[in-house]
Structure 1
């Protein structure tokens, strides 16, 4: 029991969906497994429109880290001053995720944002998105009818900034082969984010918050079979290490 109590508590934002006709909150187990295998305790965070700010203020003091997962839904365009409507949205998640980011960053709480999560990080810090990435030499979105192993297989390389924090975190790596399951991406990262990696077509693949102990966003899915990928394992280990440190300092 003591060992569990010493592990950092990581909040993971859920997605609203419909399961067998019932409204439900869902979250792929792979995110939770990656946290727990790296010696963290994961707690799923549901939401409700109109209560995001209040929920965030209630749960953040309990947490030692925050993970923003991927999702089939897209952020509502009005939140980054775009027009039009998305086919699949999750307003409650938008509200909670953006509130969590805004409140967690000044606390220097460790944050790992994946796929939609990275887009939330950009929007929360004043950035904008491509609602649909331009069609070019790289296909950033795969056939959703393909087997999962094919959907999550590496599809293209990314180049890490040689002097960037992500390259340092990954022990000097300057390029990676990554999977790619996103139709949207960061257009302008805004004033608070530093670009850490890009695809050959210029699409932003990773960002960080400068002068923050650990706040990274990645566009790919490192949680997919993380045990079999060195960079993914290192990313989650570094995230949980930062959460451990945050927990220790919070208790002083």
Structure 2
């Protein structure tokens, strides 16, 4: 495919569906890349480090998706207890993608589990089992089967003054959805906080020395067309991706 079409790799999960091992990506992530960022989504199966090495030079951006699975605690702290489901194939693939993207200054948007992967890949740690702590109940997904309810706004976040989000969104705070049972505990020394919830949970981060490496704990891919935070975030990601594509085509 011509380099005039910006390509964004979208991380897949590895799970069994009706007895068949499968690589899966929710449609909302594909739609966010295609219609929110204005790029061509390329699904990246969870095949481990070797896939990341082979595909990275063909990509203009990477989107790390959210997932019902959790990172295994052994990846960042042998003393921490974490609960499944786990997805070691995705862990291996995504953590290597982060490293390669940063080395090559490839734009990266990391969502929910993806933000946790970004932090762990850069030496940070996670707090697990938030669903067992009533103080964090607002962050955990509801039991509703109605997706509009599950992905509805749950709590307020506040953007860091002078940060990326205050520039691209043009406001100091927002209400976001929340569906996670793990959160950043120790932030990587390489990352800066872009937003926090009122209870102190880190909701967005950025790698300052990169052109665009951003992680968010919420799900901007959900109905982004109607959200005045998600839409400009995806556009900013798309702008960085297109810039990378033009530079790659000019080589």
Q: Does the pair score TM above 0.5?
A: yes
- What is aligned with 2:88? 91
Counterpart-to-counterpart distance in 2, 1:135 and 1:108: 40
Counterpart-to-counterpart distance in 2, 1:210 and 1:135: 34
Counterpart-to-counterpart distance in 2, 1:245 and 1:164: 21
- What is aligned with 1:53? 49
Which 5+ residue runs of structure 1 have no aligned equivalent?
A: none
Count of residues paired in the alignment: 246
**Contact between 1:14 and 1:46, CA under 8 Å: does it hold in 2?**
yes
**Aligned equivalent of 1:219, options 194, 209, 217:** 217
- What is aligned with 1:184? 182
Counterpart-to-counterpart distance in 1, 2:123 and 2:63: 19
Provide the secondary structure at the position in 2 that maps to 1:70: coil
- What is aligned with 1:15? 13
**Contact between 2:124 and 2:187, CA under 8 Å: does it hold in 1?**
yes
- What is aligned with 1:250? 248
Question: How big is each residue's C-alpha offset from its partner over 1:150-205, in whole Å with a ceiling of 9 and x where there is no partner?
Answer: 000001100000111222122x2110100000011100111111000000000000
Provide the secondary structure at the position in 2 that maps to 1:6: coil
Counterpart-to-counterpart distance in 2, 1:178 and 1:87: 25
**Aligned equivalent of 1:111, options 108, 113, 117:** 108
**Contact between 2:14 and 2:90, CA under 8 Å: does it hold in 1?**
yes
Counterpart-to-counterpart distance in 1, 2:234 and 2:63: 10
Mapping 1:76-155, distance limit 5 Å:
76-82=72-78, 83-133=80-130, 134-136=133-135, 139-155=138-154
Provide the secondary structure at the position in 1 that maps to 2:181: coil
1:137 to 1:55, Cα distance in 2 relative to 1, 3 A: closer
Provide the secondary structure at the position in 2 that maps to 1:136: helix
Mapping 1:199-214, distance limit 5 Å:
199-214=197-212
TM-score, length-scaled by structure 2: 0.94
- What is aligned with 1:156? 155
Counterpart-to-counterpart distance in 1, 2:245 and 2:68: 32
Counterpart-to-counterpart distance in 1, 2:177 and 2:17: 27
**Contact between 2:143 and 2:150, CA under 8 Å: does it hold in 1?**
yes
1:85 to 1:181, Cα distance in 2 relative to 1, 3 A: closer
**Contact between 1:12 and 1:43, CA under 8 Å: does it hold in 2?**
yes
- What is aligned with 2:26? 28
1:137 to 1:143, Cα distance in 2 relative to 1, 3 A: closer
**Contact between 1:199 and 1:205, CA under 8 Å: does it hold in 2?**
yes
219-228 vs 18-27, greater mean Cα deviation? 18-27
Provide the secondary structure at the position in 1 that maps to 2:198: coil
Provide the secondary structure at the position in 2 that maps to 1:104: helix
Provide the secondary structure at the position in 1 that maps to 2:126: strand
- What is aligned with 1:70? 66
Q: CA deviation at 1:137?
A: 6.3
C-alpha RMSD of matched pairs (Å): 1.5
74-83 vs 131-140, greater mean Cα deviation? 131-140
**Contact between 1:155 and 1:179, CA under 8 Å: does it hold in 2?**
yes
